[in-house]
Chains A and B, each alone.
Chain A
Amino acid sequence: MFKEYDFDVALKVIEKNTHLRGGLVETLRNLADTFGYINEDLYPALANTFNQSEAGVLGIVSFYHDFKTKPRAKNVIKVCMAEACYARKSKNMIKVLCDTLEIDIGEQREDGKYEIEEVFCLGNCAVGPNIVVNEKLYAEVSSDNVKAIINKNCKGK
């Protein structure tokens, strides 16, 4: 899903956004979209380009939930924790999901295969509970079908 970190590509992304007004968040966004996380070795380049201190860059990276600082698992599963899904019994489903993958919400499994990320509202509230498996959104996920969805989408990775 995400590419391995390639610093030439990463520097090109940074360079491409140099002219953007207030482009640091946008640049981090592009890096996160491509590689899944922000490699800290890029902080000096980011700081230079956007006229920030390295601490300033870290401050921005740490502020936003979407910007991770560690490599992502092979399969990233986002789970909606908000009330509309709660109203449709997401709790039971989440428990089955965590038990199946043997990790808790917000954790990455030691073998780097799975990671569960909590999100609040995917804008698909009328057909919840919702989960996103490797960028693909699934609606009406229940404790009965969650295992099948995971098996189908995470096979062979």
Chain B
Amino acid sequence: MIKIYVPLDTTSVSLGADEVVEEITLLAKQNNQDIHIIRNGSWGLVWLETLVEVEVNGKRIAYGPIKAKDVAGLFDADFLNAGEHPLKVGDITKVPYLAKQTRLCFQRVGLVDPMEIDDYIKHGGFTALKKALIASPESLIKEIELSGLRGRGGAAFPSYLKLQATKDALADEKFVVCNFDEGDSGTFSDRMMGEGDPFMILEGMFLTALAVGANEGYIYLRSEYPIARKVLNNAINLARKTGWLGKNIQNSGKDFDIHLRIGAGSYVCGEETALLNSLEGKRGTVRVKPPFPVHKGLFGKPTALFNVISLVSMVTIIEHGGKVYGKYGYARSRGTCPFQLSGNIKYGGLVELPFGITVRDIIEHFGGGLEFSFDGGRDLKLVQIGGPLGYHMSKNDLDNPLDYEHFKTLGGHIGHGGIVVMGHDASAKELAHFAFDFCALESCGTCTPCRIGSRRGAEMMEQVISGESVNENIILIKELCDTLTKTSLCALGGITAVPVLSLIKNFPNEFEDRYNKYVRR
């Protein structure tokens, strides 16, 4: 029986992976070939999707990008025996894009069958958990402290402090919550993890539960990820069946169970307190902090709430030791971060690297260079880092290293590691307008600056775009940004100013009155 791997990843499926599977099955039957198709996660080399891998003599040989119409050609080229074909890639792990990465969180994504728990265990899964089951909560938290891990959702808060505070809180029950509400545009690392290696997320949640003393966990998954929903559901059911979730797990005397909840299309529910309200079945409005979720979180109980990537990072940390993980990184940003490259770029995809690499390096060494244009237009104009409310840098800023503190001094943030490259047809004014508009649409309405300020900001940007009292409006917009930053309740309003101010700073001539006199939308 020949093993063939075709990803079930959203990106691959959107490019026709299901059709490729159908075609392979059909042709294999016609050719009397005994094959077994495994739907794996994506390796994150998006331009090669749909990537088809064949196992020949224990080695995996990749072909890509494959469309359904190419499958007949693959059979003609005898791809089941690693035959030559123009689309042959060979060993995917030798492709520089992948070989140059430091894959700690994504070590198994692409490699394993996400629908089989045995395959996860075969590739080293649950090693960390087995260690944790016999370790003390203190030693687990110590290990996380040594690693220097900081929350990967965007706030970069030291993870060990969160664990410690939840552990120290006294309560009859505690919760672990996994924030899978990956709403930032240009980010897809959580999704790829959920679709490619779901058991690692469960393991991370259980580790966290052991450290803080919780018995129940919730995953809050956004509704835009139906495939992740299917994969996670299957993972939870399998883990329950095989005794990795439920009562007396692996005869350790510890209980832990996980519930999967689906969001309802609200961006602000990625904010931790809004997420908790949504999990409680309420409007996803932001709560005033303090009390912090570590003291009063889900259903009023102490809650350790982590982003997907933080949770899986903890798995690698416990598995290899905090010091090993902490060796990677730059200044106070320790470890690796799965950066996500997209937009007007040649080689988009997932790039897991230690912090400290410059934006230029990532675009030149992985993305395929600054000169590329999506459809023959013009090359790189600006790069957006950290989602719709992230910093927009011009070509001159590309040498900044990706580091939490460094981006703070710029007036931005790394956020969830999304890097969107835009060409010269992107308009700074339109993007600034979009930031306000997006904030207005997604604002939960709890605090006045965000609820009303965003709308006024969008109106003023509309005037700027149409060339009305540009200078006056820009002054007002800057003041408004100051108010938003200082007085908003949560990060949504608080960082709406980041894109607006960075665009005004880095592309001043687009916001000049003189310019607007002649160029109208």
A-to-B contact residues, CB < 8 Å: 21-26, 28-29, 32, 50, 59-60, 63-67, 80, 82-89, 119-128, 130, 135, 137-140
Interface: B264 (CB within 8 A) = yes
| Interface contact A82-B185, CB-CB below 8 Å | yes
Asked if A50 meets B281 with Cβ closer than 8 Å, knowing A121-B185, A125-B188, the reply is: yes
| Interface contact A63-B13, CB-CB below 8 Å | no
Residue among A64, A89, A128, A137 making CB contact with B264, cutoff 8 Å: A64
| Interface contact A126-B349, CB-CB below 8 Å | yes
Residue among B183, B261, B283, B342 making CB contact with A60, cutoff 8 Å: B283
Interface: B196 (CB within 8 A) = no
Q: List 27 A-B contacts (CB under 8 A).
A: A22-B279, A22-B280, A23-B281, A28-B264, A50-B281, A63-B266, A63-B284, A66-B264, A67-B264, A83-B185, A83-B186, A83-B434, A85-B185, A86-B434, A87-B343, A87-B374, A120-B388, A120-B438, A124-B10, A125-B186, A125-B188, A125-B342, A126-B340, A127-B11, A127-B14, A137-B13, A139-B11
| Interface contact B15-A123, CB-CB below 8 Å | no
Hey, which chain A residues are within 8 Å of B282, CB to CB? 22, 24-25, 60
| Least CB separation from B284: chain A residue | A63
| Interface contact A127-B15, CB-CB below 8 Å | yes
Hey, which chain A residues are within 8 Å of B267, CB to CB? 120
In the bound complex, what is the Cα–Cα distance between A123 and B438 (angstroms)?
17
In the bound complex, what is the Cα–Cα distance between A84 and B188 (angstroms)?
11
| Least CB separation from B430: chain A residue | A86
Interface: B223 (CB within 8 A) = yes
Q: What sequence of 0s and 1s flags, for each residue 247-265 of chain B, a beta carbon within 8 Å of any chain A beta carbon?
A: 0000000000000011111
Which residues 281-312 of B sit at the A interface, judged by CB distance below 8 A? Answer: 281-285, 299
| Interface contact B10-A84, CB-CB below 8 Å | no
Q: What sequence of 0s and 1s flags, for each residue 228-271 of chain B, a beta carbon within 8 Å of any chain A beta carbon?
A: 00000000000000000000000000000000011111110000
For the side of the interface on B, what is the size category?
Answer: 35 or more
In the bound complex, what is the Cα–Cα distance between A80 and B10 (angstroms)?
15
Could you count the A-B residue pairs with CB atoms below 8 Å apart for me: how many are there?
151
| Interface contact B188-A124, CB-CB below 8 Å | yes
| Interface contact A83-B384, CB-CB below 8 Å | yes
| Interface contact A64-B284, CB-CB below 8 Å | yes
| Interface contact B348-A125, CB-CB below 8 Å | yes
| Least CB separation from B186: chain A residue | A84
In the bound complex, what is the Cα–Cα distance between A140 and B278 (angstroms)?
33
Hey, which chain A residues are within 8 Å of B14, CB to CB? 124, 127, 130, 137-139
Hey, which chain A residues are within 8 Å of B352, CB to CB? none
Hey, which chain B residues are within 8 Å of A82, CB to CB? 185-186, 388
Min CB distance, B454 to chain A, in Å?
A: 14
| Interface contact A83-B431, CB-CB below 8 Å | yes
In the bound complex, what is the Cα–Cα distance between A59 and B284 (angstroms)?
10
Min CB distance, A89 to chain B, in Å?
A: 6
Min CB distance, A142 to chain B, in Å?
A: 8
| Least CB separation from B261: chain A residue | A26
Interface: B61 (CB within 8 A) = no
Q: What sequence of 0s and 1s flags, for each residue 444-462 of chain B, a beta carbon within 8 Å of any chain A beta carbon?
A: 1000000000000000000
| Least CB separation from A130: chain B residue | B14
Min CB distance, B218 to chain A, in Å?
A: 9
| Interface contact A83-B284, CB-CB below 8 Å | no
| Interface contact B185-A125, CB-CB below 8 Å | yes
| Interface contact B281-A24, CB-CB below 8 Å | yes
| Least CB separation from A80: chain B residue | B185
In the bound complex, what is the Cα–Cα distance between A137 and B153 (angstroms)?
26
In the bound complex, what is the Cα–Cα distance between A72 and B284 (angstroms)?
24
Interface: B426 (CB within 8 A) = yes
Min CB distance, B44 to chain A, in Å?
A: 9
Hey, which chain B residues are within 8 Å of A128, CB to CB? 342-343
Which residues 185-213 of B sit at the A interface, judged by CB distance below 8 A? Answer: 185-188, 191
| Interface contact B266-A64, CB-CB below 8 Å | yes
Q: What sequence of 0s and 1s flags, for each residue 15-38 of chain B, a beta carbon within 8 Å of any chain A beta carbon?
A: 100000000000000000000000
Asked if A63 meets B283 with Cβ closer than 8 Å, knowing A84-B186, A87-B421, the reply is: yes
| Interface contact A124-B11, CB-CB below 8 Å | yes
| Interface contact A83-B281, CB-CB below 8 Å | no
Residue among A21, A84, A119 making CB contact with B343, cutoff 8 Å: A84
Hey, which chain B residues are within 8 Å of A89, CB to CB? 374-375, 425
| Least CB separation from B183: chain A residue | A121
Hey, which chain B residues are within 8 Å of A24, CB to CB? 281-282
Residue among A25, A119, A139 making CB contact with B278, cutoff 8 Å: A25
Interface: B149 (CB within 8 A) = no
Interface: B423 (CB within 8 A) = yes
Hey, which chain B residues are within 8 Å of A22, CB to CB? 279-282, 299
Which residues 423-439 of B sit at the A interface, judged by CB distance below 8 A? Answer: 423, 425-426, 431, 434, 438
Interface: B379 (CB within 8 A) = no
Interface: B344 (CB within 8 A) = yes
Residue among A80, A119, A125, A139 making CB contact with B265, cutoff 8 Å: A119
Q: What sequence of 0s and 1s flags, for each residue 327-339 of chain B, a beta carbon within 8 Å of any chain A beta carbon?
A: 0000000000000
User: Closest 5 CB pairs between A and B?
Assistant: A126-B348, A82-B185, A87-B343, A22-B281, A64-B264
Interface: B315 (CB within 8 A) = no
| Interface contact B384-A126, CB-CB below 8 Å | no
